[in-house]
Structure 1
């Protein structure tokens, strides 16, 4: 299958419910956030502490229909963790109410896209709050794994290499950035 056919196949073979949306946010956003917070003091004691959050091209803001949501999630100077949590709570309320489209949220793979967009925003908040660390996001590429129902184009080794490349950037490198397949890219 070509990439478009693979996406169509995934759309037809995945079902998202409110409960799976909650679990998706818990895993893909809150889980990674809690691990980062648990390790923060250790990272700060390092001479070159780094955090690389695994993201996705699905976390890019172009998947959001609301310009207001895009602007708020992209406003790294003013966005806070508290506000990010409020937005995620609103997403779940809108999901439960069947109001994703009318409120400007992504409508396909919605929880995953929102979780990854939140992870991107959180990484930028952390980079701003902790300039002694380098905190970045990395999209490994469309990897052939159980998660992608083995429909990915890249081997797990290539995907891991893309993330590792970001972790091994030289000292003094970028922070608060998004990398796609090992190269710096935009959040939008």
Structure 2
């Protein structure tokens, strides 16, 4: 199967329930956020602290209003991110993801990754002494993809490592795809 066929197959075989969507946000956004907050003092103690969030191109939302708000790095706040996540869960529970333009397929995963991308940019702005970036490792053969990906974990991991090893004082608040800086939205 090609990429599109694999994603269609995954979609047909992994319908989300409200509880799964809520757990997905707890894992992919809040869990990551809490680990970052716990480790932040250690990163700040480093002479060249780096934080690389494993993201996904699926976090690039299609809703123009949401994209604009999440891409407004000067004005987006953690509080607003959490309001948006609460709004998503309420819409999901009501069966109204289409009403506000939330993604229908892999909804919670996409929304959580978009929120993590925005949170990474907030951190980059708040902590200019750190290098805070996001990277899309590609469609990797893992449990989450039911091993349907094109890349081995080593191939996907090499993309994350490449961003972690960028030169000291380099870019921060960026999104990387295929070893290059790319757009968040």
Shorter-chain TM range is: over 0.9
Alpha-carbon distance in structure 1 between the residues aligned to 2:67 and 2:170 = 26
Contact 1:53 1:123 in 2 (8 A): yes
Residue 171 of structure 1 corresponds to 168
Deviations 1:78-113 (CA, angstroms, capped at 9, x unpaired)? 000011011100100011111110111111111000
What are the residue-to-residue correspondences of 1:1-188 with 2, within 5 Å?
1-62=1-62, 65=63, 67-188=64-185
* TM-fit CA distance, 1:15: 1.6
| Runs of 5+ unmatched residues, structure 1 | none
Runs of 4+ in 1 over 4 A off after TM superposition: none
TM-score w.r.t. the length of structure 2 is 0.98
| Runs of 5+ unmatched residues, structure 2 | none
* TM-fit CA distance, 1:153: 0.2
What is the alpha-carbon root mean square deviation over aligned residues? 0.8
Q: Number of residues paired by the alignment?
A: 185
